[in-house]
A and B are shown apart, each in its own frame.
Chain A
């Protein structure tokens, strides 16, 4: 029982965690749509050398901040993120706090249990805080990211989960989260002047930014060092998205003194001069980046010819992944996880991966009717398999309209794991 709630809380914190990811410096406009669309726009709007400073294309149509705050509470953003304006939840609802206690042997459980859980929670202890968001991020980007989350932090296992949000709700949340901007921040003018951009690129190398950050599409002229401890790098976002996430001036201010822009900043103060911060921001905002090659579509492996029984697929997949959020509430103090009793804005779906019979019993759909987890999608793929495959697409910005990728916000299952599930289903779901 404790294991269930622990594991649930742990994975969930992590999962929701990454979310609004905001750590670093960044810039540029990002209009509404999936990350790929946003990137295409960014690529198209690459600023010619010497051109004056660009401003974001889209003006944010502010929503209702009060409603946004209510939504933040309903979606339980505080279970993973700090800086939501809500109280820290109790430990059994506090994903990151719970994981941290397990990782540091402070969680009240047998040492044998802690040893068993630890490897599972270690990657899920860090989640970006949402403190002082308005000083760093464009509201348009926050809104779009909420609707179409993607892998923003390559060193973090989890990503922001795809929550059940309508566009106007995302707008309200973005309005709420970005409404407060600390006062007294210095005024900085960042331009795309070639000398500044070139100097910024040099600084990126010299200052070792890539020890923690990745910059996709930067080409081979920038070298990445990885001598920094993995946990230190965990929250560092891919700087490619900086130009979409933040105004150039906001990036410069952030680089100048992160703690002044965000009270709980994890980014260290690099001791940059105003001119260096400006030039670095210029490169991050206007430097040329190669277009990203979309990863190939996920290819399912053919079903296995050997027998696959429930014990095997349960041990390899269901009990180690699905069960954390979809379990039997009777065995977990009444809380079957967000995928069963509801949570993070999701209605109760009553899906139970804790037993064979529970899995055969399906889940409740949006109309409140019980449906099989194995009912075929439009493409004829069992829904369970389709959800596992869809997670691969989501990571690269390809969302399925029919199913939500699973595991929500967590790394996609391997091709072999999905093959095992698909084989088991194809064989008639044998015990």
Chain B
């Protein structure tokens, strides 16, 4: 009876012991050590955000595509790593009118349609930008930074410009446009509606905020 118990205990102990071994472990010189893997994309996405803020939109976009080649099939929540990466790429795309000349920075097998060399590709890219940003705004309705980005992207699509104008005018009224590019987009929209004085004011705000005047160049 007691031998049975001892054997049972040994077997149980062995099973538990095996179960307790770290799943991610490696053998080295006869010893086991746990393997700790840090996702390099955490740092990468933060760097991409900085690049975008400092005006290097192509570098920001390229790094996101390299880190997450299948990003089009992902749907991150705003604020999550994927969500932040999506936002960087969406904003970079809209600021590049849907065409990202990143052939040198991104391996050809993951380039997909990001180059946007054809009109329908760049248009689809802009649509994707708006979709991503709209989805994020919908789940974070209070984020005026996201709203600014969304309106900026919408302003690149003729059919969405009226919506963009509504968003930006409402934010401008409360001094809540969160980026110089947002004011540049507002200037464009005001200009198209013949509000030259309003365009001038929006451009002034953009120029006061922007690091380089390139951000305030109005592209229709």
Chain B: minimal CB distance from A431 (Å): 4
Query: Interface on chain B toward A: helix, strand, loop, or mixed SS?
Result: loop
> Of B145, B175, B209, B211, which is within 8 A of A375 by CB?
B175
The stretch among A159-167, A352-360, A404-412 that forms the contact with chain B is A352-360
Q: Is the CB of A372 within 8 A of B145?
A: no
Q: Is the CB of A356 within 8 A of B205?
A: no
A370 within 8 A of B: yes
CA distance A150 to B59 in the complex (A): 51
B177 within 8 A of A: yes
Which residues of B sit under 8 angstroms from A350, Cβ to Cβ? 142
Q: Is the CB of A371 within 8 A of B174?
A: yes
CB-CB contacts of A395-431 with B at 8 A, as 1s and 0s?
A: 0000000000000000000000000000000011111
> Of A330, A357, A364, A372, which is within 8 A of B179 by CB?
A357
CA distance A362 to B148 in the complex (A): 13
Which residues of B sit under 8 angstroms from A355, Cβ to Cβ? 49, 53
> Of A361, A374, A431, which is within 8 A of B180 by CB?
A431
> Of A360, A371, A430, which is within 8 A of B145 by CB?
A360
Q: Is the CB of A370 within 8 A of B174?
A: yes
CB-CB contacts of A354-396 with B at 8 A, as 1s and 0s?
A: 0111101110100000111011000000000000000000000
B144 within 8 A of A: yes
Q: Is the CB of A428 within 8 A of B209?
A: yes
User: In residues 136-171 of chain B, which contact A (Cβ within 8 Å)?
Assistant: 142-145, 148
Q: A361-B143, A428-B205, A428-B209 are in contact. Are A372 and B53 (CB under 8 A)?
A: no
Q: Is the CB of A431 within 8 A of B205?
A: no
Q: Is the CB of B176 within 8 A of A361?
A: yes
Which residues of B sit under 8 angstroms from A330, Cβ to Cβ? 78-80, 84
CA distance A276 to B148 in the complex (A): 70
Which residues of B sit under 8 angstroms from A431, Cβ to Cβ? 53, 180, 209-211
A309 within 8 A of B: yes
Closest chain B residue, CB of each to CB of A368: B142
Chain B: minimal CB distance from A2 (Å): 13
Which residues of A sit under 8 angstroms from B84, Cβ to Cβ? 330
Which residues of A sit under 8 angstroms from B174, Cβ to Cβ? 362, 370-372, 375
CA distance A371 to B205 in the complex (A): 18
Q: Is the CB of B177 within 8 A of A430?
A: no
CA distance A371 to B173 in the complex (A): 10
B74 within 8 A of A: no
Q: Is the CB of B175 within 8 A of A372?
A: yes
Closest chain A residue, CB of each to CB of B54: A431
B7 within 8 A of A: no
Query: How big is the A interface, by class?
Result: 20 to 34
> Of A361, A370, A430, which is within 8 A of B209 by CB?
A430
B71 within 8 A of A: no
Q: Is the CB of B79 within 8 A of A360?
A: no
Q: Is the CB of B145 within 8 A of A357?
A: yes
Q: Is the CB of B179 within 8 A of A360?
A: yes
Q: Is the CB of B144 within 8 A of A362?
A: yes
CB-CB contacts of B172-212 with A at 8 A, as 1s and 0s?
A: 00111111100000000000000000000000010011110
Chain A: minimal CB distance from B183 (Å): 10
CB-CB contacts of A323-354 with B at 8 A, as 1s and 0s?
A: 00000111000000000000000000010000
Which residues of A sit under 8 angstroms from B208, Cβ to Cβ? 427-430
Closest chain B residue, CB of each to CB of A375: B175
Q: Is the CB of B211 within 8 A of A361?
A: no
Closest chain B residue, CB of each to CB of A309: B211
Interface centre among B78, B84, B209 (most CB of A within 10 A): B209
Q: A330-B79, A350-B142 are in contact. Are A360 and B177 (CB under 8 A)?
A: yes
Q: Is the CB of A370 within 8 A of B211?
A: no
CA distance A329 to B80 in the complex (A): 11
Q: Is the CB of A356 within 8 A of B144?
A: no
Chain B: minimal CB distance from A312 (Å): 13
Closest chain B residue, CB of each to CB of A352: B145
Q: Is the CB of B205 within 8 A of A370?
A: no
Q: Is the CB of B145 within 8 A of A358?
A: yes
Which residues of A sit under 8 angstroms from B209, Cβ to Cβ? 428-431
Chain A: minimal CB distance from B135 (Å): 16
CA distance A361 to B177 in the complex (A): 7
CA distance A372 to B144 in the complex (A): 11
Closest chain A residue, CB of each to CB of B205: A428
Chain B: minimal CB distance from A126 (Å): 35
Chain B: minimal CB distance from A382 (Å): 10
Interface centre among B84, B176, B179 (most CB of A within 10 A): B176
CA distance A122 to B108 in the complex (A): 53
Which residues of B sit under 8 angstroms from A374, Cβ to Cβ? 175
Q: A428-B205, A429-B208 are in contact. Are A370 and B176 (CB under 8 A)?
A: yes
Identify 29 residue pairs between A and B in the complex whose beta-carbon atoms are under 8 Å apart, listed by A's number: A309-B211, A330-B80, A355-B49, A355-B53, A356-B53, A357-B53, A357-B148, A357-B178, A358-B145, A360-B144, A360-B145, A361-B145, A361-B178, A362-B144, A362-B174, A362-B175, A362-B176, A364-B142, A370-B142, A370-B174, A370-B176, A372-B174, A375-B174, A428-B205, A429-B208, A429-B209, A431-B53, A431-B180, A431-B211
Q: Which residues of A contact B (CB under 8 A)?
A: 309, 328-330, 350, 355-358, 360-362, 364, 370-372, 374-375, 427-431
Given contacts A357-B178, A360-B179, 6 further A-B contacts (CB under 8 A): A350-B142, A355-B53, A362-B176, A370-B144, A375-B174, A431-B211
